[in-house]
Amino acid sequence: MADSPPRQELPQNNNDDDELELNKDLERIIENVENISVQLTWMAYDMVALRTSPELGASMRQLEEAYRRCRAVVCGDQDQEPRMSQSPDPAATTLTQM
| Gap between the Cα atoms of 92 and 18, Å rounded | 69
pLDDT category, 75, cuts 50, 70, 90?
confident
Q: How much is the pLDDT for 91? A: 43
Q: How much is the pLDDT for 97? A: 38
Q: How much is the pLDDT for 49? A: 75
Higher-confidence position of 5 and 32: 32
Q: How much is the pLDDT for 6? A: 59
Q: How much is the pLDDT for 8? A: 61
